[in-house]
Amino acid sequence: MAATSGSARPPRVAVLLPCYNEAAAIGATVAAFRAALPGAAIHVYDNNSGDDTVARARAAGAIVRGERMQGKGHVVRRMFADVEADIYVLADGDATYDASAAPALVARLVDERLDMVVGARRSEVELAYRRGHRLGNAMLTGMLARLFGRSFSDVLSGYRVFSRRFVKSFPILSAGFEIETEISVHALELRMPVAEIATDYAARPEGSASKLSTYRDGWRILRTIVALYRVERPISFFGGIGLLLIAAALILAAPLVATYAATGLVPRFPTAILATGLIILAVLNLMSSLILDTVTRGRREAKRLAYLRHPAVGEA
């Protein structure tokens, strides 16, 4: 790989492979990335595996470390904090992602001075990419496009290449498989230069089992969508709740107002009290939306400043 401008050395590339019970695939995965990126340091972070993942990763020549807190988000957080490099290649240790595509992903990042390149999965094997996962992906894609005006075709892809400024400015909060969503949101929120390249996606090798649960992780995806909308668009979220409460209060109060206008009496005090309470809650929601919108803007500015403290790809 060519040296970066303004520097006498080529960029340091690190391959990051989070693993949990991947003894059947980790050796082949490490070998494939070593062949594709011969100068890269390959890091395998084991997440309390109960099989021979660690031994086989070491035998394949990887740098092996561990993370005790269970969940992919915890592992990625540890890898991003520990590993020092200029370019980071993140993939899974299950041999499903096409390692031979890594040089093209890295070249795209360097040539266009990007902060992230996503390996969008392209599979001809039905079992490789499950229907529930596709549905969740489509839902998140639509939500991100609505929130940020742009999105990715494969929001949930675990195959990505990052610049150092992305990795070292990313405050990872996720614990599990929702980490891919958080990564995508971080890039879109800060309007980072990003790209996608279609890459092959294969079924797991025999003896390797997926850690994803269609229903459990589908619920996590739905919860992530709601949380994303609440955090990034507080005026729309809480303002919408406030408007619904106002509408409910008006519906309840309409017959009371008509009765009062005709007789001068308010015969249903519980209904009147309920309508008044709904109006108070509506006002609180509307005021909260304005306060949280200011907090969201401040948080986004702080993230942007942290991001700009690190040089772009190709800078000394």
Q: What is the CATH number of the domain that holds 209?
A: 3.90.550.10
What's the pLDDT at 115? 95
Tell me, yes or no, whether 314 lies in a domain.
no
Same domain, 209 and 239: no
Tell me, yes or no, whether 4 lies in a domain.
no
Q: By C-alpha distance, which of 228, 166, 224, 158 is closest to 194? A: 166
CA dist 98 and 180 (Å) reads 18
DSSP state at residue 100: G
Beta strand 41-46 pairing with 63-66: parallel
pLDDT tens, position by position, 28-85 = 999 999 999 999 999 999 999 988 999 999 999 999 999 999 989 999 999 999 999 9
Q: Which residues contact 197 (CB under 8 A, 6 or more apart)?
A: 101, 104, 105, 108, 117, 118, 119, 120
pLDDT tens, position by position, 75-112 = 999 999 999 999 999 999 988 999 999 999 999 999 99
Residues 279 and 242: beta-carbon distance below 8 Å:
no
- CA atoms within 13 A of residue 315's CA, in its CB half-sphere: 12
| Confidence category of residue 3, pLDDT binned at 50, 70, 90 | very low
Tell me, yes or no, whether 312 lies in a domain.
no
Q: Which of 184-188, 208-212, 215-219, 260-264 has the lowest mean pLDDT?
A: 208-212
Range of the structural domain that residue 177 is part of: 13-231
Amino acid letter at 199? Answer: T
- The model's pTM is 0.81
Number of independent structural domains in the chain: 2
Burial of 262 (0-12, 13-18, 19+ CB in 10 A): exposed
pLDDT at 137 over 90: no
